Structure 1
Amino acid sequence: MQKNVCILGSINMDLVLRVNRLVKPGETILSKNFKKVSGGKGANQAVAAKRLGANVSFIGMVGADDNGFEIVKAFKEDKIDVSHIKVSNNDPTGMAIITVDDDGRNSIVVVPGANMKIDNTSIEESKDVIKDSKLLIAQFETSIEATIKAFKIAKENGVITILNPAPARNIPEELLKLTDIIAPNETEVFELTDIKVDDTDKIREAADKLIEKGAKFVIITLGERGAALADKEKITIVPAYKVKAVDTTAAGDSFIGALATKLQNKKEVCFENIEEAIKFANKVSSIVVQKQGAQPSLPYLDEVLKAYKEE
């Protein structure tokens, strides 16, 4: 039986504004249109993985409101296990206000809401689903304390841990020591290491900092350049697929979901298997950036396979 990809993460309702260009400080501009779509880093990663063929369980929290009901209903329609999603009567479902310009660039403000109410008690009540999983993924739109608790359970039971440190913040060494794969983007790795990853030497230097603190593998997503993979001995850059970006929202989340899906079926998580998974994840994210919206842009496996055939 295929083991789960378990995701501890955020559930947001995204309020997406299309603009000619991103707003400057103190400036007021007009939006061209507005959409409300399901999002949140954790939720996006879960939907991405499920649509690509993974078994997915989700640990999270929503508010007792229409946004929460709508998102959980959509999860069920995508056949994601929602039995570990709790409802807060005191906090709203998380939200993200996203502006997207004509070049596909975005800026995002997140309102955490119920996401930050996931605590150690919530994790303890969900420990069985963590134990029964192949991989556990977490981000930083939920509390770090809950993530540490979840990763401890994972490591005690041989579950592979993937940390997507977004939005960037200081990472306790305790958490890094529990992390098999850490996957920041260029901005996040700069926040974590104070190193601009402009070339391979800088990528190596940044990766070494994270590995010294406990991470086994480092994946740095580099936008149009692709993604770098490093462990203690080796480093490689997996090139991106060249496409015209329309909206980069959820590109990173689709990458994480695709990475986990590919690794779910591997007997071991080694450098070569992760490199192969990155190639697949790059293809998936190249499809996502050509569409608008977060979850609406996440492809199903048949669309990805078709894109491979059209190369």
Structure 2
Amino acid sequence: MNKVTVLGSLNVDTILRVKRFPKPGETLPLTGKSVAGGGKGANQAIAAARAGADTTFIGKVGQDQAGDFMVKQLTDSGVSAEFVQHSAEADTGSAVIMLDSSSENRILIDGGTNQKVTAADVDLAQAAIKSSDFLVSQFETPQAATLHGFELAHAANRRTILNPAPATKEVAAELLKVTDLIIPNETETETLTGIPVTDEHSMIKAAEACQTFGVANVIITVGSKGAFWMRGQEHGFVPAYKVNAVDTTAAGDTFIGALCSVLAPDLSNLAAAVRFANRASSLAVQKLGAQPSIPMAADILAAERA
């Protein structure tokens, strides 16, 4: 069983369903509304735990009901919340997700306490980081905290995984140098490298550009098409499973969490881990909501055998 520590965000998601997205100045009625746990960090941690990893979370929530709700979402899925701090500095993070009838989404985020995570918070979890196979992080918490965590992981000879999302051009060079595996989607890849992802040739070029930043291993996810991977000089493409998508909100996060649960610490089984992650993601998009849609290991394995 892999040990995974996730440093990241916790958001309460309000999901608004509409037939189509409104035009500027237009008012449209909702076709449905629901509330669920979310945040890229929490989603990835829950996906890792449900896929079988021994998972610990580092993050912050407010001293509010939303914070209690988010901690419960973690612990109910088997994620250790020992290092989730309750802060009076801000409210728990939140997101509003607008979902249309074709399962496309638009997301607005209030970072709240996610933006208050510091290197000192990371230090509290040093033992967990140093005993983990992987430390995973994203860009919904401050990069300075992630950099500190990745440096601690590298000092203990542990692997680091960066999901550079939401996309930003302001990525610290020092952070990339201590990243072992980076997992962007097409938009994030173009923002990071300046190379539009249109075909396998452009994926190779973009992955090679990431390697020049100091990241030896790259996975580029391309939604319903699948995922490209590069490990050193080796590379390949793993097609996605064809399903009827209902909500793609947590697809990428499910992919990353499931990947971490089966990935060998030396990344030697990267292609096989991507296939497993694709299967997990294909199950997640068939249900509504971020965390409610994330599958269990038994469901993923059953789908693999089907």
TM-score, L = length of structure 2: 0.97
Percent of residue pairs bearing the same amino acid type? 44
Aligned positions, number: 305
1:258 corresponding residue in structure 2: 258
2:65 corresponding residue in structure 1: 66
SS at match of 2:133: strand
Are 2:237 and 1:276 equivalent residues in the alignment? no
SS at match of 2:95: strand
Residue 160 of structure 2 aligns to which amino acid in structure 1? T
Listed as ranges, the matches of 1:77-92 within 5 Å are 77-92=76-91
Q: RMSD value over aligned CA atoms? A: 1.1
In structure 2, relative to structure 1, the CA distance for the partners of 1:137 and 1:268 (3 Å cut) is same
2:179 corresponding residue in structure 1: 179
In structure 2, relative to structure 1, the CA distance for the partners of 1:177 and 1:254 (3 Å cut) is same
> How far apart are 1:267 and its partner, in Å?
5.2
1:306 corresponding residue in structure 2: 302
CA contact (8 A) 1:211 1:231 kept: no
User: What is the distance in 2 between the residues matched to 1:134 and 1:223?
Assistant: 27
| Runs of 4+ off more than 6 Å | none
CA contact (8 A) 2:118 2:145 kept: yes
> How far apart are 1:27 and its partner, in Å?
2.7
User: What is the distance in 2 between the residues matched to 1:293 and 1:156?
Assistant: 37
Residue 286 of structure 1 aligns to which amino acid in structure 2? S
User: What is the distance in 1 between the residues matched to 2:149 and 2:128?
Assistant: 10
Listed as ranges, the matches of 1:1-311 within 5 Å are 2=1, 4-169=3-168, 170-263=170-263, 266=264, 268-270=266-268, 273-310=269-306
Residue 124 of structure 1 aligns to which amino acid in structure 2? D
User: What is the distance in 1 between the residues matched to 2:21 and 2:186?
Assistant: 20
SS at match of 2:13: strand
Residue 33 of structure 1 aligns to which amino acid in structure 2? G
User: What is the distance in 2 between the residues matched to 1:188 and 1:288?
Assistant: 21
SS at match of 1:87: strand
Residue 210 of structure 1 aligns to which amino acid in structure 2? C
SS at match of 2:135: strand
CA contact (8 A) 1:63 1:92 kept: yes
CA contact (8 A) 1:99 1:106 kept: yes
Residue 131 of structure 2 aligns to which amino acid in structure 1? D
CA contact (8 A) 1:15 1:37 kept: yes
User: What is the distance in 2 between the residues matched to 1:55 and 1:140?
Assistant: 23
In structure 2, relative to structure 1, the CA distance for the partners of 1:74 and 1:241 (3 Å cut) is same
Residue 136 of structure 2 aligns to which amino acid in structure 1? I
TM-score, L = length of structure 1: 0.96
> How far apart are 1:74 and its partner, in Å?
2.4
Deviations 1:231-250 (A, max 9, x none): 34122111110111111010
CA contact (8 A) 2:8 2:114 kept: yes
SS at match of 2:98: strand
> How far apart are 1:284 and its partner, in Å?
0.4
Residue 85 of structure 1 aligns to which amino acid in structure 2? V
> How far apart are 1:127 and its partner, in Å?
1.2
SS at match of 1:278: helix
CA contact (8 A) 2:2 2:261 kept: no
User: What is the distance in 1 between the residues matched to 2:78 and 2:206?
Assistant: 38
Unaligned runs of 5+ in 1: none
Deviations 1:88-115 (A, max 9, x none): 1120000010011111111111100000
SS at match of 1:133: coil
CA contact (8 A) 1:254 1:284 kept: yes
User: What is the distance in 2 between the residues matched to 1:124 and 1:197?
Assistant: 37
Residue 210 of structure 2 aligns to which amino acid in structure 1? L
CA contact (8 A) 1:208 1:232 kept: no
Residue 227 of structure 2 aligns to which amino acid in structure 1? A
> How far apart are 1:275 and its partner, in Å?
0.8
CA contact (8 A) 2:90 2:112 kept: yes
